[in-house]
Amino acid sequence: MPQKSNIHFDISERKVLLRIFDMISVLGLLYLVGIVFNFDYFKINADHWVWSIVLALYLSIFATIFELYNLQKASKFEVVIQNIILTSSVTVLFYLFTPFFTPVLPDNRLQIVYFYIAINVALFTWRYAYIVLISAPRFNKRVLLIGNSEDMAIVIDSLQKSDPNYQVIGYINTSKSKQPLLPFQLPQEFAVKKVAEVVKEQHISEVVIATRDIDGITVKLYNQLINLLETGVPIREYTQVYEEITHRVPVQHVDKDFYRYFPFSRSNQNKLYLFFHRVLDLLFSAIGLVFGLLISPIIIVGNLIANRGPLFYTQTRVGRNGKHFKIYKLRSMVVNAEQTGAVYAAKKDTRVTNFGRFLRRSRFDEIPQFINVIKGDMSVIGPRPERPVFVKELSKQIPFYEVRHLVKPGVTGWAQVNANYGTTMEDALEKLQYDLYYIKRRSLFLDISIVIKTLSTIIFYRGQ
């Protein structure tokens, strides 16, 4: 049995810890190499402090792009090895190509190899220590859930999938019904009258209230929770925890209390933010279209040989405030792919050509949408625009689906870089949760995060 501990790290704390110690380990080892060996290329001293800042900046940016701060992947050493090599290689490459802010290339070119090896060794050593020590079960956040037994399976699954260090120890059933028959075993159920004892004996780090039925919180249970609060035990509401861990808004648990859960970001009305957002839209669109022109010979030849038909196609989509517009894309399906009517694109859709599959996975098929951005129909970042027939259908079945039309749709977005590709109602619900999180938390920092994650999607060829 793993050792129980009251020490745990939240998601934000672990990400900060990883980022800080990545830099400390790399700079620390380079400093030692400079002292022990005759290493002239990189020096850490008062005269060359800019060198260290530039290296730390490059390391932070490319480690984010290559997913070294994805906590699910950060706990798997075989994945970390690959991502460290990619991060260190690109970091060193960019570092060599910015000589105004970094050292001049040394006469002994082997020093560059030592520089590269030192960065890898530092990252490998620290990340191995992180996996063995900090990702270990003894540092898990131990949680007690309070809620209806009928909801426990969904609640527990959603929390533990999103955070590998989030461990639900047990739950207290607030409904009168007994635990339903399930194909898997739920954590231990504890008695309502023993909440304080359970928290102490099980070394609980946090109590989460996951019930929509306030009648389940009896006076006796309420008094116990108040006593726990007075002793310093954190007690939080499930939707807050879910949003923090998954970066999604749990619309399926919101019910009718819409404005209680959606204090929308002030950035949606902030004129300064919207101005800079539009400037960045135009800048990224210009870069995207220039890149599209550069690769257009490849696209044209591939279309002539493999797609055999029109290069572009247009489709009606729903934009901001429900306004319809024509979206531009490179054609990736066979001609007349929807003769029988509108159909969701499946993951292994037979209508997609081989060259079209390359366009989708590389995201090249979306380059013409920068024209929509320049026209003002779309933004570079926002919820993905959907077709009117599907919007009508989804709006009837998913609560608050129309809320995603409060902002301009985007070429990329929070849902596109986080949600898996799918065509079921559950997949549409998951994407909506991400879209609402973006609308609720919209900011320049989140926009930058989406751009970086989009680069990861393109680099790892994960487009759909």
- On whether both 278 and 362 belong to a single domain, the answer is yes
In a domain, 3, yes or no: no
On whether both 119 and 144 belong to a single domain, the answer is no
- The better pLDDT of the pair 226, 336 is held by 226
- Name the percent of the chain lying above pLDDT 90: 29
Tell me: pLDDT of 165 over 50: yes
Ranges of H-type helices in 131-170? 149-162
Q: In this predicted model, which residue has the larger pLDDT, 335 or 463?
A: 335
Within this chain, do residues 178 and 273 fall inside the same structural domain, yes or no? no
- Verify that 107 and 150 share a domain, yes or no: no
> Which residue has 């460290």 as its token pair?
84
Q: Which helix (H) or strand (E) holds 273?
A: helix 271-302
Q: Which of 97, 113, 134 lies at the terminal end of a domain, its last residue?
A: 134
Position 256 in a domain:
no
Q: Are 149 and 132 in contact (CB under 8 A)?
A: no
Same-domain status, 275 and 406: yes
Distance CA 126, CA 88 (A): 14
Check whether 162 has a pLDDT greater than 90: no
Q: Are residues 66 and 151 in the same domain?
A: no
Confidence of residue 185 (pLDDT cuts 50, 70, 90): low
pLDDT classification of 202: cutoffs 50, 70, 90: confident
Report if residue 67 sits inside a domain: yes
Q: Do 373 and 291 share a structural domain?
A: yes
Query: Across 175-179, 227-231, 418-422, which has the greatest mean pLDDT?
Result: 227-231
Residues 81 and 204 in one domain: no
Same domain, 318 and 226: no
In this model, does residue 5 exceed pLDDT 60? no
Name the residue with higher pLDDT: 126 or 360: 126
246, 281, 314 — which closes off a domain?
A: 246
Q: Which residues contact 181 (CB under 8 A, 6 or more apart)?
A: none
* Domain annotation covers residue 261: no
The encoded tokens of residue 231 equal: 């002793």
Range of the domain at 319: 266-459
pLDDT, tens only, 304-331 = 888 888 889 899 999 999 999 999 999 8
Residue 58 has pLDDT above 90, yes or no: yes
380-392 in b/e burial notation, b at 16+ Cβ within 10 A?
A: bbbbbbbbeebbe
Q: 123 and 182: one domain?
A: no
Mean pLDDT across 254-283: 76
Q: What is the mean pLDDT of residues 264-274?
A: 80
Name 260's Cβ contacts closer than 8 Å, sequence gap at least 6. Answer: 254
The residue to which tokens 């077709």 are assigned: 387
Structure-model confidence comparison of residues 275 and 458, the more confident one:
275
Spatial CA neighbour of 244 closest among 398, 441, 426, 428: 441
pLDDT of residue 1: 40
What's the total number of domains in the chain?
Answer: 3
Q: Give the phi and the psi of residue 168 in degrees, each rounded to 5.
A: -85, 110
List the beta strands (DSSP E) in 195-295: 206-210, 235-237
pTM: 0.77
Q: With respect to residue 368, please indicate whether it lies within any of the assigned structural domains.
A: yes
pLDDT band at 3 (very low <50, low <70, confident <90, very high): very low
Q: d(Cα 120, Cα 59) in Å, to the nearest integer? A: 11
Mean pLDDT score, 280-302: 94
Tell whether 367 is covered by a domain: yes
Q: Considering only residues 14 and 257, tell me which one the structure prediction assigns the higher pLDDT.
A: 14
Same domain, 18 and 37: yes
Asked if residue 264 has pLDDT above 60, the reply is yes
What's the confidence (pLDDT) of residue 47?
82
Decide: helix, strand or coil at residue 178.
coil
Q: Does some domain include residue 336?
A: yes
**One domain, residues 88 and 223:** no
Final residue in a domain of this structure, among 246, 279, 295: 246
The span from the CA of 303 to the CA of 281, in Å, is: 28
pLDDT tens for each residue of 106-160: 777 788 888 999 999 999 999 999 888 877 666 778 888 888 777 777 788 777 7
Task: Judge whether 254 lies within some domain.
Answer: no
How many CB atoms are located within 10 Å of the residue 99 CB? 10
Find, among 455, 459, 462, the residue nearest to 420 by Cα: 462
Q: Which pLDDT value is given to residue 462? A: 65
**What distance in Å separates the CA atoms of residue 187 and residue 160, rounded to the nearest whole number?**
12
Which range has the top average pLDDT, 6-15, 316-325, 360-369, 394-403? 316-325
Query: Average per-residue pLDDT in the chain?
Result: 83
Considering only 60-69, 131-140, 239-248, 403-412, which range has the smallest mean pLDDT?
Answer: 131-140
